[in-house]
Structure 1
Amino acid sequence: MVFTVPDQSRSTRAVNGCHLRGCSKKSARQCPDYRETTRMSSIRVRTRRDGTDYTQVMFRHNGKQQSMSFDDHAAGLRWRKALDELGAERALERLQIAENVEANPVVTIASAGADHIDNLTGVTDGTRKRYRAYMRNDIEPFFGPSTAADMIPDKRIRQWVKACA
């Protein structure tokens, strides 16, 4: 990979420097942004002694490799996606919050949008109808109607705003 540094006329290779464009650190680990930009997790399916399968998601947190196991493969894939999009710290915070409030249902994009539109004050029925059309045509298809509203990373929101422009 070759990156062009804006203030220099020659290219620098990621091998002898940080992986970020324009960073002068000698290695990626010295870069202050390294931990925030390297969000990689891996997933594998394992078999227990009793013959049942489970999904193990491995990730790094606080400099150590950790893992979480899921009996449901789809749940493991969702956890991996959350790790990669939010980072380990935020994903673990969200998981702890979710475990503490298991009795409360997950607030999805569709339900949060509908609740917001229904509770708007000072708007006409035509405005509410138009906002529901925005939800149905623009917001839900991009984010997915069943996506948890509090699990959307800022990067994804910026992508949506750019796509709307």
Structure 2
Amino acid sequence: MSDGQDGRANGRPPDGTRITPEHDDLLLDVMLGKLATYLRMCGYDAVYALDEGIEADDAVQRRAAADARRLLTRDRELAASTPGSILLTARDVTDQLRELREAGVDLTLAARPARCGACNGSVDSLPPDCDRPEYAPDEGPVWRCRDCGQCFWKGSHWDDVAATLADL
């Protein structure tokens, strides 16, 4: 992990405060696309640089600063030159999640989806009297992304992510 220029060891604030979805927005560099879905399911506003067409290090740094987002990266030089960033060394997403937990990132699965796993848009509950998509289950709540229209519910994928996070 990186010691940012602002003195934050391992990306953790100096007072030991945990990184939470309520207080921290994230920017993931182009090497961390799979991780973005997990973080979004934990409630983080997690922008994936490649989704935004941002690849160059200087553009990533500018975006993180402009949006007051904490940068997550596997690039040592980029992490070293970006205050408050978190350097991840693992390639496997489960190992990356372990690194984040060690850095003080709250990886609690949200009680209800707040962000779209695909595009990071906000999601709203479908009203009970609304026509459900054909592929959605007949029972239980369904949420729809405001931006891309994708629908979500707590199914086997939700259970798989919960199990992965529990095993960290």
Report the TM range for the smaller structure's normalisation. under 0.3
TM-score (norm 1): 0.23
| Greater gyration radius | 1
Structure number with the bigger relative contact order (C-alpha 8 A, sep ≥ 6) is: 2
TM-score (norm 2): 0.23
